[in-house]
Amino acid sequence: MFKKLNDKILFFVGTVFSNYFYFKIHSGQYRVFKHRGTKADCGVIKQIFVKKEYSLRKSKRQSDIIDSYNAILNQNKKPLIIDAGANIGASVLWFMDNFPNSHVIAFEPDSDNIKLLKKNTNGLDVDIREAAIGSVDDQVSIVDPGHGEWGYQTQNDPNGLCNRQSVSRIIGEKIEAGYVPFIFKIDIEGGEENLFEINTGWIDLFPLIIIELHDWLMPNKNTSLNFLKSISQFKRDFVYNSENIFSFKNQN
């Protein structure tokens, strides 16, 4: 027996978080979304599908973002969404449901998360990268500070087994392939310090940047400093929504 949690989620009666649930996409069909039933997986599901923390419906800038999306499509091109810290794919599915003609690059450094990310985005226009993202191409190690599967961190390590890929290089490659920057979502557990360290000219290519900063998690580390210094060079609105900052590009 099934029960609806909201207009999007259908689940088995008993528990909403029982290994999988059904998510209704824009076409009216339901996709199976799989998870592990852990505190972290249930937390990310609640944030994205129940609390809808990436929703623009209450934002005064929603129409601007929709106009940007349609303008790209009117050029017969695909909007580019970068999901840095894609975890098991909940955020990817959210963006693909709201902007279904987009191309998403999903970055996730953890191999176990990647397995579910692939299953949950199967058949969608998603370029999955088992890698971290940063300001330059280099290597990192993955660190588990004990916050669960959504809290893995990376640290600089020339002998690390995880690739960290240059954001400016990747964006350049995607633009050359015909994609147009649209949304950049960033939730990388302090990795924003490196991401915004150098080569940040790409910032104002994106009409919307969504980022969770982590000074609260790593006090006295200045992990948000590079972001604040970089973003202040551009004319952008700065709006808080739950844990996230929504940075909207201004036209004047």
pLDDT surpassing 70 at residue 1: no
pLDDT greater at residue 232 or residue 46: 232
pLDDT digit string, tens, across residues 26-77? 778 888 899 988 888 988 988 998 899 999 999 999 999 999 999 999 999 9
Average pLDDT over the chain, rounded to an integer: 91
pLDDT digit string, tens, across residues 167-186? 999 999 999 999 999 999 99
What confidence category does residue 80 fall into, taking pLDDT thresholds of 50, 70 and 90?
very high
Q: What is the pLDDT of residue 4?
A: 59
Q: What is the pLDDT of residue 9?
A: 61
Q: What is the pLDDT of residue 140?
A: 94
Q: What is the pLDDT of residue 3?
A: 52
What confidence category does residue 12 fall into, taking pLDDT thresholds of 50, 70 and 90?
very low
Domains of the chain, each with CATH number or no CATH: 60-249 (3.40.50.150)
Q: What is the pLDDT of residue 89?
A: 97
Q: Output the DSSP codes for the chain.
A: -EEESSSSEEEETT-TTSSEEEEE-TTS-EEEEE----HHHHHHHIIIIIS-TT--TT-TTHHHHHHHHHHHHHTT-EEEEEEES-TTSHHHHHHHHHSTT-EEEEE---HHHHHHHHHHTTTSSEEEE-SEEESSSEEEEEE--SS-TT--EEEE-TT-SEEEEEHHHHHHHHHHTTEEEEEEEE--TTTHHHHTTS--TTGGG-SEEEE---TTTSTTS-TTHHHHHHHTTS-EEEEEETTEEEEEEP--
What confidence category does residue 148 fall into, taking pLDDT thresholds of 50, 70 and 90?
low
Report the predicted TM-score, pTM, of the whole model to 2 decimal places.
0.92
pLDDT surpassing 70 at residue 111: yes
